[in-house]
Amino acid sequence: MTVCTWNINSVRIRLDLVKEAVERLQPDVLCLQETKCQDDKFPMKAIRDLGFPHIALNGQKGWHGVATFSRLPFAAVDKREFCGKGDARHLSVTLGAEAGLAVPFTVHNFYVPAGGDIPDPDLNPKFAHKLAFLDELIGWEQLALQAADAGAHTVLVGDLNIAPLEADVWSHKQLLSVVSHTPVEVERMARWQAAGPWVDVMRRFVPPHEKLFTWWSYRSPDWTANDRGRRLDHVWTSPSLAPHAKAMTVLREARSWEKPSDHIPVAVTFEV
């Protein structure tokens, strides 16, 4: 079972890139974030033509939005609203017996708020929203129970908009006061991860001391020149599923495709 996550930054603009990524990675489940598309405007036929007959959507006009596509049927689909804002930032699907699985396999797809530019909740409402969103995640008991279930196969993926480790950013010292790597965000992410507990499976393939990036700013005229990236996209699993993670692909070359997203796809393959 290969699960892929990607902040596509507008699915309708980048359908050709989705096709390219699917051809290269061959995911069974594809999770997109920042789709920027209402559900009734979603390019369903194009996604089905890529081999995904099962589609779950949580979208809104022009902003945010998450979508999950599967080659296998869904046993359940769910979504959750955070902070009473009505923005589309979460979607979960479960694959079960109809998908040929003895143990249900649940995938949570998240798009955590970016938080703006000023890391002060009193001066920046977007940063206050991000912290409140994380607080709700920390307190979401059902999500933690799914991870803690000794037999659970649960995956949590998405653009979590936090680079927690020193090697998740190009310069730990210079980014300590930059939104996505500030101590207050990193501390909340650690509490969220511990609440599961969730296993950061990407770091099972790349040691925590080695640089690992999934995002490079559009502001850089040549992202490859100085490689000033961050790891904002994550794949976490329930503890019982982590040992079943057998391979990972971080599709770095996607950042150089024509009209790219500023994020790249990450795919992890599990033996289930």
Percent of the chain with pLDDT strictly greater than 70: 100
Contacts of residue 18, defined as CB under 8 A and 6 or more positions apart, other chains included, come to: 6, 8, 11, 30, 32, 47, 50
Percent of the chain with pLDDT strictly greater than 90: 95
For residue 220, pLDDT over 90 is answered with no
Going by pLDDT thresholds of 50, 70 and 90, the confidence category of residue 251 is very high
Considering its fold, how many domains does the chain have in total? 1
Going by pLDDT thresholds of 50, 70 and 90, the confidence category of residue 152 is confident
Instruction: Report the phi/psi class of residue 158: left, alpha or beta, with left for phi > 0 and alpha for psi in -120 to 50.
Output: left
Query: Which pLDDT tens digit goes with each residue over 43-63?
Result: 999 999 999 999 999 999 989
Going by pLDDT thresholds of 50, 70 and 90, the confidence category of residue 117 is very high
Query: Which pLDDT tens digit goes with each residue over 192-210?
Result: 999 999 999 999 999 999 9
Going by pLDDT thresholds of 50, 70 and 90, the confidence category of residue 257 is very high
**Domain housing 178:** 2-270
* CATH number reported for the structural domain that contains residue 169 in this entry: 3.60.10.10
User: Given this model, what pLDDT does residue 74 score?
Assistant: 98
* Residue type at position 263: H
Find out whether the peptide bond into 265 is cis, omega within 30 degrees of 0: no
Going by pLDDT thresholds of 50, 70 and 90, the confidence category of residue 150 is confident
Query: Which pLDDT tens digit goes with each residue over 222-234?
Result: 899 889 999 999 9
Strand partners, 4: 30, 267
For residue 221, pLDDT over 90 is answered with no
